[in-house]
């Protein structure tokens, strides 16, 4: 009987060893298969992330090129605006100098009804602008003030044109 118990114990032990070995093998095989699935998913995820990063990089490059183009346009626009403003300021300074040296006199045309004149003058004055019109010369200080006011208006118009060009350019983008 002892032999039968030892025999059965050995058989049970061998069966248990085989079961443990097969379980160990199955576990290893499953771990390997699961590892391969995880590696495949990680590879797909990494590819998606790489594609997304490439798309973002392309978008950043497009935005940078747009910004560079806008900066170039703004620099050119600012240069043109500054040039126009400088030219206008120079013209006004020359005009003020001519008024100050009495090289130029400003005059205004008088209304014929207000002055009591009815008709044309028989002759024109030398250097007159309008044939037969009655004109009154302005004092040099008043003329310079008028030139200053018109100069401010010209600068405002130049600034307005620059703003309109900027808005127009933004609207077309």
What does the pLDDT read at residue 62? 96
What does the pLDDT read at residue 163? 85
Distances from the Cα of 63 to the Cα of 60, 101, 141, 172, angstroms: 5, 56, 55, 16
Longest dimension (CA), the chain: 162
What does the pLDDT read at residue 122? 47
Paired tokens of 69: 């183009």
CA–CA distance, 16 with 22 (Å, rounded to integer): 10
Query: Long-range contacts: 21-24, Cβ < 8 Å, 24+?
Result: none
pLDDT of the chain, 173 residues: tens digit per residue: 566 777 777 888 888 898 888 889 988 888 888 889 999 999 999 999 999 999 999 999 999 999 999 899 889 988 988 898 888 888 888 887 887 777 777 777 776 655 555 544 544 455 555 555 677 777 777 777 888 888 888 888 888 888 888 888 778 76
What does the pLDDT read at residue 60? 97
* Secondary structure percentages of the chain, helix, strand, coil, to 5: 80, 5, 20
For the question of whether the overall pTM of this predicted structure is more than 0.75, the answer is no
What does the pLDDT read at residue 2? 61
Measured torsion, CA atoms of residues 154, 157, 162, 163, in degrees rounded to the nearest 10: 150
What does the pLDDT read at residue 166? 81
């Amino acid at each position: 009987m002892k032999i039968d118990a030892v025999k059965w114990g050995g058989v049970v032990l061998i069966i248990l060893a085989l079961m443990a070995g097969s379980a160990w093998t199955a576990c290893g095989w499953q771990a390997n298969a699961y590892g391969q699935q995880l590696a495949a998913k990680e590879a797909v995820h990494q590819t998606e992330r790489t594609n997304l990063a490439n798309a973002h990089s392309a978008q950043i490059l497009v935005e940078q090129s747009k910004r560079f183009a806008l900066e170039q346009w703004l620099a050119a626009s600012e240069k043109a605006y500054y040039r126009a403003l400088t030219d206008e300021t120079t013209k006004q300074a020359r005009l003020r100098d001519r008024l100050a040296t009495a090289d130029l006199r400003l005059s205004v045309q008088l209304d014929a009804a207000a002055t009591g004149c009815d008709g044309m003058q028989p002759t024109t004055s030398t250097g007159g602008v309008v044939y037969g019109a009655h004109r009154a010369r302005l004092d040099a200080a008043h003329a310079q003030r008028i030139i200053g006011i018109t100069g401010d208006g010209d600068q405002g118009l130049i600034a307005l044109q620059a703003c309109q060009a900027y808005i127009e350019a933004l609207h077309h983008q």
